[in-house]
Structure 1
Amino acid sequence: MIVPGSSSQQLAAALADETDRPLATATYDRFPDDERLAAVPEFDGETATVVATTDSDSAWVELLQLQDAVREAGAEHVTTVIPYMGYARQDQSFTDGQPVSARAMARAISTGTDRVVLVNPHESAVSEFYAVPVEIVDAASVLADPLASDLTEPLFLAPDEGAVEIARTVRDAYGTGETDYFEKHRDRETGAVEVSPSDASVSGRDVVVVDDIVATGSTMSEAVGVLTDRGASRIVAACVHPMLAANAVTKLRDAGVDRIVGTDTIERGCSVASVAPVLADTLVADAATGN
């Protein structure tokens, strides 16, 4: 059975359709003292796939409870799909006395599952923190699906050189276009930092700015502002994980973004591309091999 966390109900339902597996109806309650209780009162099966994005502290608690709930109900094998892994950017201790938060969360999740599936974690090395087998799924290609078919001389831009592979993945899935990445240049006299594409001209072209996650939107809106000033035609902001905290959407629109495209790893209004087919391929393949 597919068991959804409260933040991943649409994705879980899509995954149930893709895999032809039943979708469990989980419940999400809260006690007067603010303690949470996530349960699966009608769970009936030997295997469970818990699908829960961890975009908040309460989502982490829900996930731990759902894993325990299906075990209590008799599940002999539990797979935990974490579409978006919160705390993944805290993958090291930056100063003395700080935790490695990603490791702490991974250890907790490992106690209640047999394996974990992650979608485009910000740092792939976080998979090493889990005490159970981990599979990383690259779902960036689905971002090409909702893009207009008539993009003019499309340019797929990454925010930095480290993310250019994501831009290439989306470009390859789209079928045409160039890729590039932004570079930062610091003026030796003033200290001012200028952000610009490293090589490609953008004037008159449709540009897709691609990243794994957009959190506050500050970095991407700065890049988009440069593209607008240099005469880019249409600008699309595309990301696997559309966190879009606080006023991120307003920042991007104000900078000149025509459209924001995200996946349903975090369910937002812009989540127009589903990672369910990619996840389904992984789960079905694993089932065929007995994993």
Structure 2
Amino acid sequence: MIVSGSTSQALSAALAAETGESLAVAEYDRFPDGELLASIPDFDDDRAVVVCTTTSSDAHLELLQLQDAAREAGAEEIVTVLPYMGYSRQDSAFKSGQPISARAVARAVSSGADRVVLVTPHEERVADFFDVPCETVDASSLLADPLPDDLREPLFLGPDASAEDLAEEVRDVYGAGDTDYFEKTRDYDTGEVSVEPSDASVTGRDVVVVDDIIATGSTMSEAVGALADGGANNVFATCVHPVLTGNARTKLAAAGIEAVYGTDTVEREVSAVSAASVVADAL
């Protein structure tokens, strides 16, 4: 039975349709003192697939409660799907005395799971923090699907050299275009930082900026602005995890973005394609 956290209802429904598994109807409540209560009164199965994106501290706690509720209801196996794992980018201690938050979260999740499925983590090594088997699946190949079919001399750009492989993955699925990545250069006299593609010209071309996560939108909007200044035709942004905190969407629009596309690992207005198919393969 698939058990959905409140943050992953559309993905859970798509996953149920993809796999043919039944979908439990979870209930999410809050006590007068603010404490959460997530429950699954109709759960009745030997296996629970708990699907919960953890974009907030409440979502983390809700996930732990749903795992425990499934076990209490008789589940012999609990598979936890983390479409997007909060705190996953805090994968090392940056200063003395700081926690490795990704490890702390992974250990907590492991306490109630028999197996974990993690979708496109920012760093693969985060999977090693779990105390139970953890499989990572990649949803980046899905990002070509919502793009227009008639892109003009398309150029797929990663935000840095390490992300060019991601851009190549999307380009290969799309079936046409070139790839490149952004380079940052600093003027040490003025302190200003400029961002531009490392090699390829963007003049008159449709450009797709590809990333695993768009969070605040600051880096992406800076890149979009640079592309517009360089004479790009239309600029699209696509990402696996459209976190889009605060005014991120407004920043991107103000920078001149044509459209933003993401998956439903984080359910947002821009979630144009479901990660259900890649998650189903891991179940």
2-side partners of 1:28 and 1:63: how far apart?
11
2-side partners of 1:66 and 1:146: how far apart?
33
2-side partners of 1:6 and 1:215: how far apart?
20
Aligned twin of 1:47: 47
Aligned twin of 1:110: 110
* Identical pairs, percent: 64
Structure 2: gaps of 5 or more residues: none
CA offset digits 1:219-255 (Å, max 9, x no partner): 0100110000111111101010001011101100111
Aligned twin of 1:156: 156
Structure 1: gaps of 5 or more residues: 284-291
Aligned twin of 1:286: none
Matched residue SS, 1:204: coil
2-side partners of 1:64 and 1:189: how far apart?
51
The one-letter amino acid paired with 1:138 is: D
CA offset digits 1:36-81 (Å, max 9, x no partner): 0001101000011000000000000000000000000000011000
The one-letter amino acid paired with 1:74 is: G
Calculate the aligned-residue CA RMSD, in Å: 0.7
Query: Residues 247-258 of structure 1: matches in 2 within 5 Å?
Result: 247-258=247-258
The size of the alignment, in residue pairs, is 283
Aligned twin of 1:287: none
2-side partners of 1:127 and 1:161: how far apart?
23
Aligned twin of 1:231: 231
TM-superposed deviation, 1:192: 2.0
1-side partners of 2:30 and 2:168: how far apart?
44
CA offset digits 1:11-49 (Å, max 9, x no partner): 000000000000000000000000000011010000110
The one-letter amino acid paired with 1:67 is: Q
2-side partners of 1:193 and 1:219: how far apart?
12
Matched residue SS, 2:69: helix
CA offset digits 1:186-239 (Å, max 9, x no partner): 224333211110000001100000100000000010011000011111110101
The one-letter amino acid paired with 2:162 is: G
Query: Residues 1-291 of structure 1: matches in 2 within 5 Å?
Result: 1-283=1-283
2-side partners of 1:151 and 1:140: how far apart?
19
2-side partners of 1:41 and 1:188: how far apart?
62
Matched residue SS, 1:236: strand
1-side partners of 2:234 and 2:282: how far apart?
34
TM-superposed deviation, 1:123: 1.3
1-side partners of 2:197 and 2:16: how far apart?
41
Matched residue SS, 1:143: helix
CA offset digits 1:55-111 (Å, max 9, x no partner): 000000000000000000000011000000000011111111111111000000001
CA offset digits 1:146-193 (Å, max 9, x no partner): 110000011000110111111111111111111100001122433321
1-side partners of 2:248 and 2:209: how far apart?
15
CA offset digits 1:92-146 (Å, max 9, x no partner): 1111111111100000000100110001111111111100001000101111111
TM-superposed deviation, 1:5: 0.2
2-side partners of 1:67 and 1:51: how far apart?
10
The one-letter amino acid paired with 1:189 is: D
The one-letter amino acid paired with 1:91 is: D
